[in-house]
Structure 1
Amino acid sequence: MKKLSLLLLLTLTFACKEKPKEEPTEEPEMSITSTEKESEWTVLFDGTSWDGWHVYSGREIEEAWSLQDGAMLLNKITEARKDGERFNMVTDKEYTNFVLSIEWMVNSGANSGIMWGVVEDEKYNEPYITGPEIQVLDNTSHPDAKNGTTHQAGALYDMVSPTQDVVKPVGEWNHYLITVNHDTNVGNVVLNGTKITEFPVNGEAWDAMVAKSKFATWEVFGKSKTGKIVLQDHGEPIVIGYRNIKIKEL
C-alpha cells in the first residue's frame, strides 16, 4: 500500500508540475504575420533600405531622407530645398486598387501628405498636380490647420474633412489604413483604428467634389486610376517620419 501511495504521489507531482513560462515578446505594431505574407500583403518599406522607392525629381534620396530606427525620416535641411526643390518619395511600382497600411510621425509645425494615382512625367513638376492627397499635418501649430478641417490630418485634402480628430500628439506615431478602390468607387481613411474619412474615387460624385475644390481647373488632377504612391516633401525643414509600410492590392 505504501509503495502504491508513493507511486501515485510521484505521478501526480510530475503531472501537475508547470512548464516554465516563456517571456512574452513584443512585436512591432504593424508587423506582418506569415499568413499575411503568404496571402495578401506586400512590404513596401522594411526600414532597412530604399528598395522600391525613389525621389520624384530624380535627385538622390540621401540629400533629404535618412534611415533611422526602422523609419524613413525627411529631416535634412538642404540648399536645394531652401530654393524650393522638393524631395517627394515615390514608389517604383504603380497601383490601382489597394489598401495601404502606413505609420507616420510629425514634429511641431510639420506638413506632408500621402498621394496616390500620381503620374510621374517630366511635364508635371510636382506629384500633387496629378495625385489626390490624404493630409499628414501637425494640427496644433501648422498654419494650414487653420484653413479649415479639409486641410487637417486625415482629410482628403481640400475636399473631405475627417469626422473627428483622433491624431496622437506631435512626436508620437500614428497609423493610417487608406483604401482606394475604383471598382467599388470607395475611398476611406482609418486613423489609429477609427474610420474618419470616406469619399468616392471616380465618376460623377468625384468630379462634383473636385469642382468645389482648389483643383477645379486642374486638367489632370485625379484623372488617373493607376499611378504611383507618394510621400510628400512639403518644403519645410521639419522632421517627418514614415515606417511599417505595406500594401494589399485589391
Structure 2
Amino acid sequence: MKTIVLSTLAALVMLGCKNNAKQTEEKTSMATNKETTSLEWETLFDGTSFDNWKVYNGGEVVEPWSIEEGAMVFNPPTERPEGATYNLISKNKYTNFVLSMEWRIAEGGNSGIFWGIHESKDFFAPYQTGPEIQVLDNERHPDSKNGLNRHAGALYDMVEPSEDVTKPVGEWNSCTIKIDHVNNIGEVTLNGTVIVSFAVDGSAWDDMVANSKFATWEDFGAYPDGHIGVQDHGDGVAYRNIKIAKL
C-alpha cells in the first residue's frame, strides 16, 4: 500500500510540473501575442514587389530571387558566376524592433534571417556582421548534426531552441524575432512558441560570442543599427508576409 501511495504522489507531482510548464509557456505566448498586436507595423514585403529590398553590396533584387504566389522565393541557380552571392537586405536600418514573417525551407535546405547587418565593401556577406536566426531542415541538413544551436530557430552557434516546433518541410513556419537593446533582450517565437531568449548587449552577449565560431570576428554583432537580411545559402527557400515594428 505504501508503495502505491508513493507512486501515486510521484505521478501527481510530475503531472503538476508538466502543467506548470505548460501554463508558463502559454502565458509567455499570450504575452507575446498581446505585445505584437499592439504594435505599429511597417510592411517589408507585401507579396508583390521587392521595393524594400536590395542585394547585399549590390543593386536591385534580381534572379535567382523571384516572387511566386505572394512569396519571395530563392531558386538556386544551375550556374553561378564565380564569387556571386544573392543575399538580400532591407533598404532601411533598424535598431529596436519586432520582425514578423513566415518561412518555408526546401528539403535538405539551409538559410537564415539576420539583423544588425553592416553593408560595406569591407565585407562580402551579411553573416560577417549580422547575427543569424537559423532557417533549416533539421532532419536532413548536415549542419543540424553539429549541435542544437544550429537547428531552426537557434541564435546560430550560440543559443539552441528550447524545443523543436518546426513544421514538416514544405509547410510554412511563422517566425517572430524581437531585438530590444533598451531592455537587453532578444527573443525568437516560432509557430507560437517562444523557443530562444538571449541578451543582445553587455557581458552576457560578449560571453556567448566568445564561446562561438565568431569569437575572433571583431565586427560581428557590432552594429546595433543595421539592416535586416535573408540568406542565399545555395538552397531553396521562401519568405512571405514580412513586416517590422519599431520598439
* TMscore range, shorter length: 0.7 to 0.9
Indicate the residue corresponding to 2:203 in structure 1: 204
> What residue is the counterpart of 2:238 in the other structure?
241
**TM-score between the two structures when normalised by the length of structure 2:** 0.82
The corresponding residue for 1:66 is: 66
Aligned partners of 2:100 and 2:74: how far apart in 1? 19
Q: Could you tell me the percent identity over the aligned residues?
A: 56
Contact 1:65 1:72 survives alignment (8 Å): yes
Deviates more, 1:41-50 or 1:70-79: 70-79
Map Cα deviations across residues 25-68 of structure 1 (whole Å, 9 max, x no partner): xxxxxxxxxxx999611111000001110010315522210100
Any conservation in 2 of the 1:65–1:73 contact (CA below 8 Å)? Answer: yes
Structural mapping, 1:103-114, within 5 Å: 103-114=102-113
Are the equivalent residues in 2 in contact too, given 1:118–1:128 (CA < 8 A)?
yes
> How far did residue 120 of structure 1 move?
0.3
Give the 3-state SS of the residue equivalent to 1:214 in structure 2: coil
Stretches of structure 2 that go unaligned for 5 or more consecutive residues are 1-35
After superposition, give the CA deviation of every residue in 1:102-129 in whole Å (9 maximum; x if it has no partner): 1000110110000000000011111100
Q: Provide the C-alpha distance between the structure 1 equivalents of 2:158 and 2:38, rounded to a whole number of angstroms.
A: 37
Runs of 4+ in 1 over 3 A off after TM superposition: 36-39
SS at match of 1:209: helix
**Alignment check: 8 A CA contact 1:71 1:241 kept:** yes
Measured in 2, the distance between the counterparts of 1:50 and 1:139 equals 29
1:55 paired residue number: 55
How far, CA to CA, are the matches of 2:137 and 2:108 in structure 1?
6
The 3 A distance-change label for structure 1 pair 159 and 37 is closer
Contact 1:139 1:152 in 2 (8 A): yes
Partner SS for 1:150:
helix
Matches within 5 A, 1:1-250: 40-58=40-58, 61-80=61-80, 83-236=82-235, 239-250=236-247
1:38–1:179 distance in 2 versus 1, CA, 3 Å: closer
Alignment root-mean-square deviation, CA:
1.6
SS of match in other structure, 2:144: helix
Q: Does the 8 Å CA contact 1:74/1:233 hold for their aligned counterparts?
A: yes
Q: TM-score, normalised by structure 1?
A: 0.82
What is the CA-CA distance between 1:151 and the residue it aligns to? 0.4
Identify if the C-alpha distance between structure 1 residues 211 and 37 changes in structure 2 by more than 3 Å, giving closer, same or farther.
closer
Bigger Cα Rg: 1
Partner Cα separation in structure 1 for residue 61 and residue 180 of structure 2? 30
What SS does the aligned partner of 1:144 have?
A: helix
Partner of 2:9: none
Give 1:15's aligned residue: none
Aligned counterpart, 1:11: none
Q: Is the 8 A contact 2:53 2:60 kept in 1?
A: no
CA distance in 1, matches of 2:76, 2:110: 15
The answer to whether the 8 Å contact 1:112/1:231 transfers is: yes
